[in-house]
Structure 1
Amino acid sequence: MVAIGEKAPNLKLGKWVQGMETNFDKEGDNVKLVEVFQVNCPGCFMHSIPEIINIYQKFKGDGLTVMGVATAFEDYDKNTLENLEMLLTTGEVVGDTKQALSQYGQLKDGKLPYKIPYPVAMDSLVKEGGEPTKEKMTAFIKNQLPDFDSQPEDYKQQIFERVKGYFKSKEYSAETFEMYSLQGTPSTILVDRKGVLRDVSFGQTVNLESMIQKLLSE
């Protein structure tokens, strides 16, 4: 688990699909912004990715590096490397993303009306197998419920059972997603010029641009 204020470890990635292969340690003293999305995530394509593209266009000459990471923590049949490659080469979208964007008239000839201009990689997906360890479940729970230890025993037991069910239903572990304890997609990871993790956000990031401006001026 990585904490805000600590050195940000390199992203664990499966394959670079677009752009030059890179990572935090290769980006010198640039500010680094990572956009974590799923191919099957309507909100990612309706709001978050267009916002990140704007930020990229605005600050790319000022010392900001932007990277996209496609992850998968559900819908493993849709959040695939093949669908990511199709998206980046042809603009075609699938599943819920296609349905929502069609509904809101945001597709052009059935495809995304914009191209993602920054490098994009697929998260490293590791096949899950067997029973999750108690340590793994405890770490997962404490990240979501910091006061878990002070809860009554029967409540703790219920939570353990639910988390065990969750882990058993998972086909894969997405390594970057889990290493940064992300809660869903879209998420952003922000790292300063010294390589220190400064922010991790899930959903709409209201003050992302002002945080980036502040880090660029440090």
Structure 2
Amino acid sequence: MTAQIGQPAPLLSVSDWVQGGPVNFDQMTGRVVLVEVFQVNCPGCFLYALPQAIYLHEHYAGQGLSVLGVATAFEDFDKNNLGNLVRLAETGQVVGETLLALSQRGELIDGRLPYRIPFPLAMDRLNKREGDITDDDILLFIRTRVPDFDQQPEAHQQQLYKRVQSYFQSLLYRAETFERFDLKGTPSHILVDKRGVLRDCAFGACPELEARIKDLLQE
């Protein structure tokens, strides 16, 4: 089942709860739910999205908001894995590009976050990919992200096709929640209203997220 805005949200699919939980949308009726989807090796997740999610948790949990964190993986599987998520939850340790970026900004203490993530954290369920990637898979991926792909010059189409083909070949696993909500990257957020209906599902920074949550809390 693929998620549809305005329809009941499909359940999150996770392999492990490393902090808090287990919990899912069907257990949270009557509360607005924000799911912050991130990768451990994702500097932008730690520079912007997770601090925003922590702020929202601290300011609105008492008003009916529940925040969950789901670590996913669609690349860099040596870093975006359960072990590093456990270390993040237990000690604040970060790795890879996240470690580099936050160190350069002076935001770490001995390679660790100076704060703890206060809401439940889970690992997306990863399944080993089976079978070959088809031309239809590649073209569908491109056309959903580049609407005018078929109007592009042929040389550019071929270049983009080869890049996406190489990307797919690099993937070892499929992340169930990431694909179930048709996410485009990390950070992304999933927003579900008090009735369990999916109201928003978006990639990247979202300055208006607080206003949207306040509106949902008042419904």
Q: Return the alpha-carbon distance in structure 1 between the equivalents of residues 106 and 153 of structure 2.
A: 50
| Contact 1:28-1:193 within 8 A present in 2 as well | yes
Q: Return the alpha-carbon distance in structure 2 between the equivalents of residues 205 and 18 of structure 1.
A: 25
| Contact 1:186-1:202 within 8 A present in 2 as well | yes
Map Cα deviations across residues 184-212 of structure 1 (whole Å, 9 max, x no partner): 11111111112111112222111000000
Q: Return the alpha-carbon distance in structure 1 between the equivalents of residues 31 and 134 of structure 2.
A: 38
Q: CA deviation at 1:151?
A: 7.0
With the length of structure 1 as denominator, give the TM-score of the two structures: 0.91
**1:145 — aligned with what?**
146
Map Cα deviations across residues 146-187 of structure 1 (whole Å, 9 max, x no partner): 455777888767655543332221111111111111111111
Q: Which is further off, 177-186 or 161-170?
A: 161-170
Q: Return the alpha-carbon distance in structure 1 between the equivalents of residues 47 and 131 of structure 2.
A: 37
Opposite residue 177 of structure 2, the aligned amino acid is T
Opposite residue 82 of structure 1, the aligned amino acid is G
Cα–Cα, structure 1 residues 95 and 194, in superposed 2: closer, same or farther, change >3 Å?
A: same
> Aligned with 2:164: secondary structure?
helix
Is the aligned partner of 1:189 residue 2:197? no
Q: List gaps (5 residues or longer) in structure 1.
A: none
User: Alpha carbon RMSD of aligned pairs, Å?
Assistant: 2.0
| Contact 1:5-1:198 within 8 A present in 2 as well | yes
- The residue correspondences of 1:32-181 to structure 2 (distance < 5 A) are 32-133=33-134, 136-146=137-147, 160-181=161-182
Q: Return the alpha-carbon distance in structure 2 between the equivalents of residues 22 and 52 of structure 1.
A: 18
Is the aligned partner of 1:215 residue 2:216? yes
Q: Return the alpha-carbon distance in structure 1 between the equivalents of residues 166 and 148 of structure 2.
A: 21
Q: List gaps (5 residues or longer) in structure 2.
A: none
Opposite residue 199 of structure 1, the aligned amino acid is D
| Contact 1:143-1:181 within 8 A present in 2 as well | no
> Aligned with 2:33: secondary structure?
strand
With the length of structure 2 as denominator, give the TM-score of the two structures: 0.90
Opposite residue 182 of structure 2, the aligned amino acid is S
| Contact 1:70-1:84 within 8 A present in 2 as well | yes
Q: CA deviation at 1:100?
A: 1.0
How many residues align? The count is 218
Opposite residue 167 of structure 1, the aligned amino acid is F
